[in-house]
Structure 1
């Protein structure tokens, strides 16, 4: 514990005198060390100031360049991409909800009325969020048009953290692989889609698809796990209303 002497206090013993001398000596050493460190730092800065300023300048250029790129290039480019994508999105939505689906999906892909299609967005605005979204639209359009290899290609390029779109993209790849008769690949993507998010829409849907493909592949134990999970965890889903039959089928195969 530190002790403090009263004002005017004079040491009376040799031990106390020696203590004061040692204390002064230690304090002096500390200040000397600080002085030496400061001198060395000043010396280093003085000697290398040219390089230090270059490094600071480079950091500033990178930071300002990044901010400038986002503000004056990336943002305007993304805004333009969104505007140019509007008509293609409209065609896609009409195809999903209306008639003449094939022609509308083709218009969504290739454009119409002098407007860009999704493929134009991918080429013209590569690297933007709009181009990323165009990969999803293009892949899904190709899936509906039965061009399954192109569907896999474009959906595989799509990256998202969205609660619904992320698993839908994986699941659509699974659908394409089913049509290509690559059922092991389809099962893998259905499993990925089911595990990506936990919601009442995509999770039970892809658990059910994974279960039916697993049954087809002779993996009854895996199928049974997926079907039971639907029944226990997603009892209000559409899939839950028909899952009992599939649980029965899987149970019979497991018990063989």
Structure 2
């Protein structure tokens, strides 16, 4: 067992003298090992200093490059794209309330006019921006209203969002497109994705109802009942809850 040795300690006998010599030898050996390790580390650093400095420089340049790109390229690009999106979005909103001119307004929203970009231009010219992502959604919904269902699916699949309503509406819109294309299995799949995306008073009862109707058409009455009962139990104040008891009764027959 090692003991603490006071400064000026002198061994009383040969046994203590031998212990002291052994301890001093061990200490010297430890320091020698540390010195050797330090020397090897210094030698390695010297041999590889160009590589090390290169790596540090590359990391620094990468960080500075990212910050510069974000500040001087991406931010202005985002701002410009957002400004451009305002114009076609006006046409889209007008089309939703103007039945007589909706097709021409939807077309203007897609392609632009008077030197202004439409949704398709923004998707191409401002790829990677938030505005381009939103343009994918709006273009998809525009094609859905124009009954161009393949284009609607393509653009809505290109849209990505964690937003509770928009994310669900995009998936539900794909379901609507597949339903119109007479592909009920795919329609039901996307209605279920829309339901799973988020639970809210606006989109959830809407797509529960559509999923239930499709499930009945597919002969999946148990699944349909589950959709309709959720409307009855969780969204009783929704428009879809009107007459829901009759639909539940239909799934029992």
TM-score (norm 2): 0.90
Question: Which residue is 1:52 aligned to?
Answer: 52
Give secondary structure in 2 for the equivalent of 1:134.
helix
- The alignment yields a C-alpha RMSD, in angstroms, of 2.2
Q: Residues 20 and 109 (structure 1 numbering): CA distance in 2 closer, same or farther, change over 3 Å?
A: same
Counterparts of 1:62-211 in structure 2, within 5 Å, are 62-99=62-99, 100-211=101-212
Q: Tell which deviates more after alignment, 206-215 or 165-174.
A: 206-215
Q: Residues 97 and 3 (structure 1 numbering): CA distance in 2 closer, same or farther, change over 3 Å?
A: farther
**What per-residue deviation string (whole Å, max 9, x for no partner) do you get for residues 82-104 of structure 1?**
11121111111222234422222
Question: Which residue is 1:243 aligned to?
Answer: 244
Displacement of 1:115 in angstroms is 1.3
**What per-residue deviation string (whole Å, max 9, x for no partner) do you get for residues 32-58 of structure 1?**
232222111110110111111222222
Displacement of 1:3 in angstroms is 6.5
Distance 1:250 1:136 in 2: 34
- Provide runs of 4+ in structure 1 moved above 6 Å: none
Q: Residues 42 and 180 (structure 1 numbering): CA distance in 2 closer, same or farther, change over 3 Å?
A: same
Q: Tell which deviates more after alignment, 150-159 or 66-75.
A: 66-75
Structure 1 residues not aligned, in runs of 5+: none
Displacement of 1:26 in angstroms is 3.7
Structure 2 residues not aligned, in runs of 5+: none
Distance 1:229 1:12 in 2: 91
Displacement of 1:64 in angstroms is 1.6
Name the count of aligned residue pairs: 252
Give secondary structure in 2 for the equivalent of 1:113.
coil
**What per-residue deviation string (whole Å, max 9, x for no partner) do you get for residues 64-118 of structure 1?**
2122111111111111111112111111122223442222211111112331111
Displacement of 1:29 in angstroms is 3.2
TM-score (norm 1): 0.89
Give secondary structure in 2 for the equivalent of 1:164.
helix
Distance 1:23 1:242 in 2: 93
